[in-house]
Amino acid sequence: MKRISFIFALALVAALAISCSKKTDTATSDMGDGSMTTPAAGKQIKPSASAMAMAASPTAPAGATKETSAGSGSLSAGTSNNASDTDDSWVAMSDIDGDGDEEQVDWIWDDEDKILYGYTEDDAVVADGVVATAMLIAFYGTGNDANQPVGSGWYVQGVGEADSLQAEVDLWGCMFDANGNATQCGACTIDATNDAVVITSTSTQ
């Protein structure tokens, strides 16, 4: 979250300073005068074909660790179905966001729900100047419980700076089809129970 102060000096007999702050919230918020703010928009991406293809039949490399969730902080999704359930996790350089550059991605394969998650903290500046500091992408795999097309999925970005608890304050994301094309975007929340994203305020970028 960004908090920006503007100081205006007015010179008459003495200098008068006025400061104000602006705060961007995850959902539309009331400014107190009846007007509403618009949630910060993230950067719309088209996942790479190679990343989408991994979802069909993910194979963890040698040395993979065992985890129970993907991502970090508010940009996370649980993958454990019971107290003893763990899933393969590994780190690899991948062009997950289709920009032609490889990022360090933390992958985790939820082999029960058949969802491949990728998490990266490769920063990207969005159009309104707010920084997207991290991104969690979910790709539906073959035989997924949600009955979604293989390779389709969703992504969520942490828009803005992390707060004192290192949790992304504003979440923005998209759902995309099996060709990687966005079908709906906007401010959102992660529905960990159903392994899905919930768009709370539709917008595009």
Confidence (pLDDT) at 1: 29
Confidence (pLDDT) at 43: 84
Confidence (pLDDT) at 91: 96
Domain boundaries, the chain: 49-202
Confidence (pLDDT) at 82: 84
**Predicted confidence (pLDDT) per residue in 15-69, tens digit:** 323 222 222 233 343 434 444 445 567 889 999 999 999 999 899 999 999 999 9
Q: Who's near 157: CB < 8 A, 6+ residues apart? A: 42, 43, 75, 132, 134, 135, 171, 172, 173
Confidence (pLDDT) at 167: 53
Q: What is the mean pLDDT of the chain?
A: 77
**Predicted confidence (pLDDT) per residue in 145-163, tens digit:** 999 999 999 999 988 655 5
- 182 vs 64: CA distance, rounded Å: 31
Average pLDDT over residues 101-118: 95
